[in-house]
Structure 1
């Protein structure tokens, strides 16, 4: 394989596009450990898979914790390729990114220059993919363990082989860094350092499990509303709550695709030898909370929207002041359920996972069940004989307070924006969603988030090696793709998944966000084809050479399509340009909750959800 990859790499250096034959499968080459990562040397041929490959990590090959227990590769070996947002990892001793001219997150356009020292090539089309690259800032004090992390600036195409070429790398003195392999060293006229390839997972490998669950569950349900129970109805006086008239709590009955009782630690239920999950024969009682705002009547019924809560939160987040205000001002009934897998009830399990990551697959498995729970809650809201037929959602004369004819919508913030992208991509009952302070790709977001700090401490105790940590983030992303937007984004707007309508998405991003990296939101916007409200920022705020590179502008309003609107609190500053969280006071107060609290943002969200039109509520940078 080295000879073939070398020929392809030299073709890249010469400006020629390689043929598919040039990167055809060949014998594995011997590398050291798991680097570079990802690589097709960790796959085997499999004619039954859509990619023709199957991931194969041998037992004992994945990182071990301090107790010497290696991560069990069984669930990873179900994959037919690597993540479309995978971090690409390699160790280059002595590398200096600045003298090498490597594109940082603040200058992504540089990655496509003819002389760029890193080339990320789609071997199917021969086109180069934009990226940014950074040295692991968490290992700055240990260069021997400091990896170069290459991050795609747009999702990589599914079921496609990519070629990575490193060339012309320099140390801090400006001297060329010699290639680690003798065969490559003989080509130093091209200053070629290293080249390898990897295969991205297929659409079926990323989304097939939850689509099987959705299609089977709704085929059994038909046009009926799912069964539900009402547990508590609370009517508030105006003195008790000036914005919410009634709160309804209960459970909706959902087919369970999880083992056992479906609690933390449970897994998807696979039949013997099966590649796709099957219903376990039991049901899951998904708890929900709904708020009916004041001003709603049978003549002026409430608009219907699901709401997605934040990290390790709960459905009661709809009691937050900003959510209540939007419900009251714009006549929305919000109903919420839990992102099981990453909800408040999961905190003890999630904390424990960091001591032995063999338990991590439960997180994306339960997240996929949560998607089905949300879909069933939504169907109960809009189906004939659903919520509208229950006295809890009627007035004193038995008349419905719900506007079922207006359809269903989705609004979520933070984790609700991240997971909401995946949920919307599979949704059949709504076509418009607002993703508040969103992003995708946890392997990019975790260390850039102040919210990850306590989990980083747990990781440092159990997996202290900095090289292992970056490999672990790449491994986790392979499974996390099943439960967050990164695995679904290529079908979120255009090219919808089978049996799914086209969707429109409005993204509200907080400039300088401390919890969800705006860089990850930009990757999502490029991937889904969202257009940007411009001017996004007033002059002097952005640290990017070309602000919001690769994201087209909205040319006129009202705009029909998916959009990205940046909200600047005026108090936060651009985050660190590497994999560090903006935890230092110099970055200002966290603006994470700023967009959802702005009246203009709420008006823009309501107009978009109800009409499909993005309106300009700022007349310039927002706010």
Structure 2
């Protein structure tokens, strides 16, 4: 190529470069006032969430947190609520002697107990200053309160207080309890939220990765989370709209059991027992009677003995399971002798009056000694 031809070629290339540069610059100016190339969104795919079957994967700190949660319910059209509890063999925590505890009878219920404890945990201990405690429960009903317990059937807030687990030994998984004044309504959906919390150092509490993905509207790899996304998003969008979305630290939904589901066992045993007892009862045997027991003139008499009662357990020695028939309801086994101790206060004897019967007992009521 001679010098003249080379010069013409170079000029053409420079001109083309200038034209192309102008075109590119014009395009940038039309799309970005700063003269910079617009941001390009890169699809990184679903958010990776470690998922364990049988657990609530909304909180990675413990299989059963948060609790109670619809993660442990499955749809069942045969029940009054439309749900049934669905704990897997790995759901319940170890008892200290076994790696996992499996209580199959819990899966008979069609929701959670209205008197259940509500709890969750965060990676750092939250500062509960200003959050409702047992002395300021009314503040939990105020707009803007850091915790929300909402009846999703009627839209009403439920009074509660919040406290940390005093027995915690691991600060990174300290249980945070939300306690109610009374039982919740049966067969009702509730929403729980913790909002705007900071830790003891003043740093914002960090939502779990799954919770953050729901807040950000990002899809996750967890079928468990995706199956409940709509109900959690609906709760946040419809009932937490007064709060800044980015301040939500935890939110979930659960459904309580029906009265029929909760009371069916005890109602069945009561009806059967009353029929067997009849109007006169089955029997009672007094084995001892001691006047002025304790020699302090406070107890007129201590009476010990046994009473006969229908038994519905596999064994009279706790812990024991109920024996169930083909209809899954408790089934009568036999009559058993139950030990008891009765004390009559001296004041009733002095006044020659009867008084109300008070039963002292806890759990399986012990041995009846007293």
**Does residue 213 in structure 1 map to residue 266 in structure 2?**
no
With over 3 angstroms needed to count, the CA separation of the structure-2 counterparts of 1:243 and 1:165, relative to structure 1, is closer
Structure 1 residue 284 displacement after superposition: 1.9
With over 3 angstroms needed to count, the CA separation of the structure-2 counterparts of 1:329 and 1:173, relative to structure 1, is same
With over 3 angstroms needed to count, the CA separation of the structure-2 counterparts of 1:45 and 1:334, relative to structure 1, is same
Task: Pick from 139, 148, 152 the counterpart of residue 123 of structure 1.
Answer: 152
Task: Give the SS at the match of 1:128.
Answer: coil
Structure 1 residue 127 displacement after superposition: 0.6
Aligned equivalent of 1:252: 307
Task: Pick from 175, 179, 185 the counterpart of residue 151 of structure 1.
Answer: 179
Structure 1 residue 128 displacement after superposition: 0.6
Structure 1 residue 90 displacement after superposition: 1.4
Task: Give the SS at the match of 2:128.
Answer: helix
Aligned equivalent of 2:93: 63
**Does residue 342 in structure 1 map to residue 364 in structure 2?**
yes
Structure 1 residue 94 displacement after superposition: 3.2
Q: Is the 8 A contact 1:226 1:252 kept in 2?
A: no
Q: Is the 8 A contact 2:291 2:301 kept in 1?
A: yes
Structure 2 distance, partners of 1:173, 1:160, is 38
Aligned equivalent of 2:330: 277
Higher helix share: 1
**How large is the Cα RMSD of the aligned pairs?**
3.3
Task: Give the SS at the match of 2:269.
Answer: helix
Task: Write the mapping of 1:205-354 to structure 2, written as runs, cut at 5 A.
Answer: 205-222=261-278, 224-232=279-287, 234=289, 236=291, 249-260=304-315, 262-272=316-326, 274-280=327-333, 282-288=334-340, 315-316=341-342, 318=343, 323-329=345-351, 331-332=353-354, 339=361, 341-345=363-367
Task: Pick from 85, 88, 91 the counterpart of residue 118 of structure 2.
Answer: 88
Structure 1 distance, partners of 2:151, 2:182, is 12
Task: Give the SS at the match of 1:171.
Answer: coil
Aligned equivalent of 1:108: 137
Structure 2 unaligned regions, length at least 5: 1-54, 218-236, 238-242
CA deviations 1:31-64 (Å, max 9, x no partner) are 3321111101111112222222111111122112
With over 3 angstroms needed to count, the CA separation of the structure-2 counterparts of 1:64 and 1:95, relative to structure 1, is closer
Aligned equivalent of 2:43: none
Q: Which has the larger radius of gyration?
A: 2
Aligned equivalent of 2:17: none
Structure 1 unaligned regions, length at least 5: 1-27, 289-314, 348-623
User: TM-score scaled by structure 2?
Assistant: 0.66
**Does residue 183 in structure 1 map to residue 214 in structure 2?**
yes
Structure 2 distance, partners of 1:126, 1:156, is 14
Task: Give the SS at the match of 1:204.
Answer: helix
Structure 2 distance, partners of 1:237, 1:96, is 55
Task: Give the SS at the match of 2:179.
Answer: strand
Task: Write the mapping of 1:459-470 to structure 2, written as runs, cut at 5 A.
Answer: none
Q: Is the 8 A contact 1:185 1:192 kept in 2?
A: no
Structure 1 residue 123 displacement after superposition: 1.0
Task: Give the SS at the match of 1:182.
Answer: helix
Structure 1 distance, partners of 2:123, 2:107, is 31
Q: Is the 8 A contact 2:131 2:140 kept in 1?
A: yes
Task: Give the SS at the match of 1:207.
Answer: helix
Structure 1 residue 107 displacement after superposition: 0.8
Task: Give the SS at the match of 1:251.
Answer: strand
Aligned equivalent of 2:192: 164
Structure 2 distance, partners of 1:241, 1:138, is 39
Aligned length: 283
Structure 1 distance, partners of 2:206, 2:290, is 73
Structure 1 residue 165 displacement after superposition: 1.7
With over 3 angstroms needed to count, the CA separation of the structure-2 counterparts of 1:220 and 1:232, relative to structure 1, is closer
Q: Is the 8 A contact 1:269 1:279 kept in 2?
A: yes
Structure 1 distance, partners of 2:292, 2:196, is 71
Structure 1 residue 242 displacement after superposition: 6.1
Structure 2 distance, partners of 1:106, 1:340, is 27
User: TM-score scaled by structure 1?
Assistant: 0.41
CA deviations 1:189-218 (Å, max 9, x no partner) are 432222111111221222221111111222
Structure 1 distance, partners of 2:100, 2:72, is 16
Aligned equivalent of 2:47: none
Structure 1 residue 270 displacement after superposition: 0.9
CA deviations 1:208-229 (Å, max 9, x no partner) are 211111112223444x211324
Task: Give the SS at the match of 2:215.
Answer: helix
Task: Write the mapping of 1:314-463 to structure 2, written as runs, cut at 5 A.
Answer: 315-316=341-342, 318=343, 323-329=345-351, 331-332=353-354, 339=361, 341-345=363-367
With over 3 angstroms needed to count, the CA separation of the structure-2 counterparts of 1:227 and 1:66, relative to structure 1, is closer
